[in-house]
Amino acid sequence: MDQINKPYISFHKVLGIVAIFFIGAGFIDGVTYWIFGSVGLLPIVYLPKIAVFACMMLQIFVWLKYGLPKQHLIITFLFLFFCIIGVLSQEYINRVPVGLNPFIPFLFGIIAYNGIFPKWEKSFAKLSFYVILLVSFGAFLDIFTNVPWKNFSANFGDISVQGSKVWEQGDFERVSGFTRISSCLGIQILACCLIYHIYGSNNFLKFFVWLLSLVIIFFSTAKTVLIVSAFFLGAFFVKFFVTRVKKKNFMRSLPLIACFIGILLPVLAYIFNFGERFGLNPYAIALLGSFFVRIFETWPRMINHVIKDGSFIFGTGIGSSSSVLSPYPDYFMVDNAYVWLFGVMGLTFIPLLLLWIKYIRKLEIFESKRDMFFLFFAIFFFVNGITDNSEDNPILSFITGLSLSHFRYRNYAKTINNNS
């Protein structure tokens, strides 16, 4: 019998609490790294991840007792397969565990679905509103004062771990607030803003939340997040001029459109090899900034690495690419979700994304707030992924995992209704 029918409700409650603890810790991780790193207690900051790992181990025991669902079995097989590919492809095996980091929130999201819905869903509006206020306070502190956790680093064994990263956009210092990196700040506040837009009931507070969020995103210089924000605002405004059916079809088509653009741009950059043809032109860099560097250098370099050192079909496995906060400076940083997936999985990622998009197109955004929640975050994931590693952000990765379980439970509920 499927695990859906098995009574382990208490474990679901634990999963929900740990999930809130894990995601909540990400909003202040820059501060916590500074606090505990300053007194030699840096391992404490990893308690949320340890709790997540413990829950995942407990879930394995549950599956051993009640049986592993087919979808989860497939995901487990793929995960282990690309771990093996990573071990075989990497010069240093110890980098594979670091490469697992983006997958932890994703895998946890898959098992935490019943811990979040429906219990915590009832508090989404209130929680997101208070988090927006907290995140905004941290951002304004960063703007107007010299916060002590900026550019902090501490040693964890033989590895130097960075707290909140300091970097600049031109002459403008990027704001990261309480977090470790400015791009996370932008994603976090837009995520909370979308949640409040879906579940909040006060239109005045929605306007206030959007205005405040756009200001913070602007100071974080997360340009892709700002574009995603502008799109959502435009889509909300367009609803006054188009029918619900047209708007629903358009919104459900956006992940596929973004996926196409996100794959096409790196492919063109690799084929035409702009970097060797024109060099890193300083005028183009001034005009297009980091996007120019992605086209001329970052994306072609990763694609060439996969073709040269890995497999075109199966990539280089888990461990070859990571984020800007990686403890290994010679890791491949990608800044594109699709190139990142190509690095890990090769061309295998394309049918998997298309399968996800197929399920996304079945969501009924006007009949269910939960369906709207998962559609909005799928759009966020795919559009943000054009110039950023969406998988590397814990919130987007966690909600992606939740969405896979949502599709499964949604299909199960429809089957029950059709048979009743």
Phi, psi of 215 (to 5 degrees): -65, -45
pLDDT range class, residue 5, cuts 50, 70, 90 = very low
Domain ranges of the chain: 3-419
Looking at residue 112, its pLDDT comes to 92
Taking the C-alpha atoms of residue 86 and residue 94, their distance in angstroms, rounded to an integer, is 10
Structure tokens at 153: 């680093």
Looking at residue 241, its pLDDT comes to 63
pLDDT range class, residue 334, cuts 50, 70, 90 = confident
Q: pLDDT per residue over 278-316, tens digit each? A: 555 555 555 556 777 788 888 888 888 888 888 889 988
Q: pLDDT per residue over 388-414, tens digit each? A: 888 888 999 999 999 999 988 876 555
Least confident of 150-154, 211-215, 229-233, 371-375: 150-154
Looking at residue 2, its pLDDT comes to 45
Looking at residue 293, its pLDDT comes to 77
Average pLDDT rounded to a whole number, residues 247-276: 87
Looking at residue 52, its pLDDT comes to 94
Residue of 404 and 173 predicted with greater confidence: 404
Looking at residue 287, its pLDDT comes to 52
Tokens 């394995």 — which residue? 60
Taking the C-alpha atoms of residue 311 and residue 375, their distance in angstroms, rounded to an integer, is 32
Residue of 378 and 246 predicted with greater confidence: 378
On the question of pLDDT at 88 being above 90, the answer is no
DSSP bridge pairs for 153:
162
Least confident of 191-200, 325-334, 389-398: 325-334
Taking the C-alpha atoms of residue 277 and residue 269, their distance in angstroms, rounded to an integer, is 11
The answer to whether the beta carbons of residues 135 and 192 sit under 8 Å apart is yes
**What mean pLDDT, rounded, does the chain reach?**
83
On the question of pLDDT at 101 being above 90, the answer is no
Q: pLDDT per residue over 52-83, tens digit each? A: 999 998 888 888 777 777 788 888 889 889 88
The answer to whether the beta carbons of residues 295 and 334 sit under 8 Å apart is no
